[in-house]
Structure 1
Amino acid sequence: MAGARTTMKLKRFLLRYYPPGIILEYDKGGYLRTKSIDLLDLTPETNPDELLAEIRRTEALITESRADQVKQLILRLQQKQVQQDHRKFRFFKELKAHILPLTNVAFNKSGSRFITGSYDRTCRVWNTATGTELHTLEGHRNVVYAIAFNNPYGDKIATGSFDKTCKLWCAETGKCFHTFRGHMAEIVCLAFNPQSTLVATGSMDSTAKLWDVETGEEVATLAGHTAEVLSLCFNTLGNQLVTGSFDHTVAIWDVSSGRRIHTLIGHMGEISNVQFNWDCSLVVTGSMDKACKLWESVSGKCVATLVGHKEEVLDVCFDLSGQLIATASADGTARVFSATTHQRLVTLQGHAGEISKICFSPQGSRVLTASSDKTARLWDAQSGVCLQVLEGHTDEIFSCVFNYEGDAIITGSKDNTCRIWH
């Protein structure tokens, strides 16, 4: 088969800051493809020459002539890590976003736009820089509960509603492309796969479903849970989906076949949240049993139980590089754990009410929490010191998000408003 070997030609490099990595764009048989070199363990102390040698051992596309270019990219990634994140967030604008309480907020990849879902049955699209409303997405007959952009593209929006349907919209025009019908009860969570070809929805009917973004058809029903599916998450490859249920179990599914690969059994209470880490090797789960568990996605084995909270764990997440885990609890505290040693690193104390949402800044150096005490707080992930209290909401805050650059925050509250912080 002499002539059949397709040559691969490197076209260009793209830098990814969060988590650190280098994307290679290359030509293979006339098609443009990409692959990423993840540098999740990169620190400012990493020796760039040794790292370059290691990359070259495993990546044939990086030839001698390209070596210096790659070294420069490594140095740029290290520089970005050294830039300390000392920013103070200032209150920029309050949006009287809806006539009824908000349910969720979400950014597009660039952070130029964000969306809000509400009990008023609409989803609204906003310009982050000005705080002006761009579109109202109308058509649902009940609460719009789960919302998402198809990041990194950001040209589509999915909305999941208590009316049992999910709708797919054009982010540019606000036009509705498809209405996904088939669930027998409220839709409470959803996600796009990374390729933006599928939407997954989780419902109170105990199932999750996969839908085709192009055709609007149902691709698969993921059945097996015996109670509500409250949270779900695709891995970064898009080949697996994890679902967490009120039946105390978590399931890992093979996306292409719709088959269940593992059932993760061990929690003694309802599952509040589930998430894959960046390299798809681990799943973290939070539960009403006051614990958080870490599982190997390949084997389905529980590798650690993170304990210490006095009340339910309401939210849990990895930082982007997958090195840290943060937990938020009804006991009013949050904790940061190491994903490798499973040790608790810090406890975040200061809220006067339960913490329902937690997330890391893209850089991983900050933790943001939202509480029923009407404040959101920004913490130093290393020291556990509270850096800032974001005040002004008049009722509990149940949504808080960073944009991708980490220089804007949106908080959403039961007081019908959301606030932009720059």
Structure 2
Amino acid sequence: MYTYVIVPASVDLAAGRSARREPGLKWCRFGDRVIYWTTGVADSAAGRRVRTLGTAEQSSRGLPHLVVQSGNSFRENFPGIRVIVDCGRYLAVELSDDEVLAVSHGSGADYGVEPLPPNVTVVVEARHAGRRARTTDLALTVLADQVSATHLKDSLLTLTTFGTRHSLSEGYRQAGDWVTEVLRTLGYAVTRIAISVGTGSSFSIVADKPGRLGNPQLVLVTAHLDSINHADGPLAPAPGADDNASGSAGVLEIARILADRADDQDLRLVLFGGEEEGLLGSEQYVQGLSQRDRNRLLAVINMDMVGSLNSARPAVLLEGAPVSQGLIDELAASAHDYTTLAVDVSLHPFASDHVPFITAGLPAVLTIEGSDSANHNVHTRDDTLATINYSLLCDIIRMNLVTTAKLIGTKTSINDLERWRQSSMDLD
């Protein structure tokens, strides 16, 4: 048995610090709420301390667990399981021993379940968000303003017309051919990397743009190109507009905007195959990464599901690990200065192409739409263009574009600035 109480984070600031010194008392923060709990006898010292923190004391014979990445999908699979805290992509739930067994045999392709980690923050608003003056730079503003909803719509329209982009399908091959041609036309050096997907073979697409320095660092911007239909089978329609034509279109948009600009560092764009089968493309890419590239890899910015507005506020989740904290801070600052996005942060990486990099000790961050509470369409035939919110999509891409430009040292020409000033005057 355990006893728990949910405390608003604002209250926790006053009461929680002293409570956390109580032996046997555990805590876990989910955004604006903190769960305190203790296992064992409710009238123990820790149990009595729980009762001093709030009036919503609960007792349960189950144990608290954490659901990561797709709380909505978990709730659809297990509607009878008690949810303690719903924080969009993250849930705190209580599970009996039988429910733990049932969950372990459930479909976990979209989410992970683990015992609730004690004394950690699962997800929180980005540091300094909304509490510092904006520090925009004219050259970066010029770049951010180049993000075009029209270009993104065109890319999404093409990417969703291949029937399915299952990694072993003809549709995926056709999508890969189209993406390759787009990137080559922009001037990138494009190669394909063969990958294994089960007993079959597929590929990832890599596009390089060299920097001007003699010994450049390397920045990766990535997304997965494949899609899947879990509901009806691998050959069923899987337009994958949000998951993940949105991220792939974002990579192409960043490629378009940076194509003709001079950079100090090397830029590499990667569109992975095999993500929906278990991060196969990114895992095999990291395994094959040369020691030189590992040593000079500055950042990996991954886009996965960046186009569906599933919450009242336009929001982005930055998901990484301690090795990614510097990159998370850069992305959060770019979001604050150049977009209207609310930013949440989590250091619990799961089930997207940033994970193999983090596992290898490399700084990678997943950028993903802020919540999945209303997104019931992914991995079905209903993940269509109708699910896309272009304002949100453009803002997340602006954040990633500006951060990429900072990292690679993109130069903005005088002509760019003059064109931007003229367009601004025309709008006035």
Q: TM-score range by the shorter chain?
A: under 0.3
Query: Bigger relative contact order, structure 1 or 2, given CA contacts below 8 A and separation 6+?
Result: 2
Q: Could you tell me the TM-score, scaled by structure 2's length? A: 0.22
Query: Higher strand proportion, which one?
Result: 1
Query: Higher helix proportion, which one?
Result: 2
